[in-house]
């Protein structure tokens, strides 16, 4: 039986990285899909700590905040570094990914028509920071020598950016190889090839 449940709208959205992480860690999970109509009734919203989805359940533990899901899974499945110093660096990089994700979501939901071109033009200035980190760390991961939740989050945000701008990694070889390596991990590959993954749009407004 699946110990984990994700309750969310029918999008990859803020659960993309969590799902990829669960798949790569060999975990099973249940999905409860909430329609916009059901959400608008307001009953579920009232039960959500911050009035928003996604919700993540691990047995009797109920969590909100997508980055909290990643940290919880990181702790449980050995993807949070091998000591406190690595854990702190993993937090730092995950927060950096969150900054990029927030900019991306703002562009997608608030200024796609007016801001997309400028966003893509400015993108190398953000991606080059991650490029430098990966070029320096010979393991191919952001921190230390094994995969962490921050790697899954970076990977997922890069997949979305490759849809937005297919050439965005052409001058960033370490990031390109990072995406290739993670895409080729057997459980990630199987998940990315699955209908469960492919059927969901990236975002809720049809833009990508």
Query: Residue 153, interface with ligand 0HH (CB under 6 A)?
Result: no
Query: Residue 9, interface with ligand 0HH (CB under 6 A)?
Result: yes
Q: Using the rule CB under 6 A, which residue among 4, 13, 19, 22 binds ligand 0HH?
A: 13
Q: Using the rule CB under 6 A, which residue among 52, 183, 194, 208 binds ligand 0HH?
A: 52
Query: Residue 70, interface with ligand 0HH (CB under 6 A)?
Result: no
State the nearest-atom distance from the C-beta of 55 to ligand 0HH, in Å: 9
Please say whether the beta carbons of 76 and 129 come within 8 A: no
- Residue 92 CB partners (closer than 8 Å, separation 6+): none
Binding segment for ligand 0HH (CB under 6 A), chosen from 11-19, 138-146, 168-176, 180-188, is: 11-19
Binding segment for ligand 0HH (CB under 6 A), chosen from 49-57, 139-147, 150-158, 174-182, is: 49-57
State the nearest-atom distance from the C-beta of 147 to ligand 0HH, in Å: 21
Query: Residue 161, interface with ligand 0HH (CB under 6 A)?
Result: no
Query: Residue 72, interface with ligand 0HH (CB under 6 A)?
Result: no
SS (H, E, C) the chain: CCCEEEEECCCCHHHHHHHHHHHHCCCCEEEEECCHHHHHHCHHHHHCCCCCCCEEEECCEEEECHHHHHHHHHHHCCCCCCCHHHHHHHHHHHHHHHHHHHHHHHHHHHCHHHHHHHHHHHHHHHHHHHHHHHHHCCCCCCCCCCCCHHHHHHHHHHHHHHHHCCCCCCCCHHHHHHHHHHHHCHHHHHHHCCHHHHCCCCCCCCCC
Residue 39 phi, psi (nearest 5): -60, -40
Query: Residue 66, interface with ligand 0HH (CB under 6 A)?
Result: yes
Closer of 18 and 169 to ligand 0HH (Cβ): 18
Binding segment for ligand 0HH (CB under 6 A), chosen from 45-53, 71-79, 128-136, 182-190, is: 45-53
Q: By the criterion CB under 6 A, which residues form the site for ligand 0HH?
A: 9-11, 13-14, 35-36, 45, 52-54, 65-67, 204
């Amino acid at each position: 039986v699946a110990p984990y449940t994700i309750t969310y709208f029918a999008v990859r959205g803020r659960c993309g990285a969590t799902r990829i992480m669960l798949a790569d860690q060999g975990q099973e999970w249940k999905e409860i899909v909430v329609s916009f109509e059901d959400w608008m009734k307001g009953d579920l919203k009232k039960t959500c700590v911050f009035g928003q989805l996604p919700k993540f359940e691990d047995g009797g533990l109920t969590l909100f905040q997508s980055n909290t899901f990643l940290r919880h899974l990181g702790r449980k499945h050995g993807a949070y570094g091998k000591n406190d110093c690595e854990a702190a660096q993993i937090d730092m990089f995950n927060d950096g990914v969150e900054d990029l994700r927030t900019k991306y979501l703002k562009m997608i939901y608030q200024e796609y028509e007016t801001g997309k071109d400028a966003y893509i033009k400015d993108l190398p200035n953000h991606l080059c920071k991650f490029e430098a980190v990966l070029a320096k760390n010979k393991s191919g991961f952001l921190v230390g020598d094994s995969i962490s939740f921050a790697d899954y989050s970076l990977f997922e945000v890069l997949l979305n950016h490759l849809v937005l701008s297919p050439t965005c990694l052409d001058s960033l070889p370490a990031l390109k190889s990072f995406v290739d390596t993670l895409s080729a991990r057997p459980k990630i590959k199987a998940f990315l090839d699955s209908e469960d993954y492919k059927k969901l749009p990236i975002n809720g407004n049809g833009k990508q």
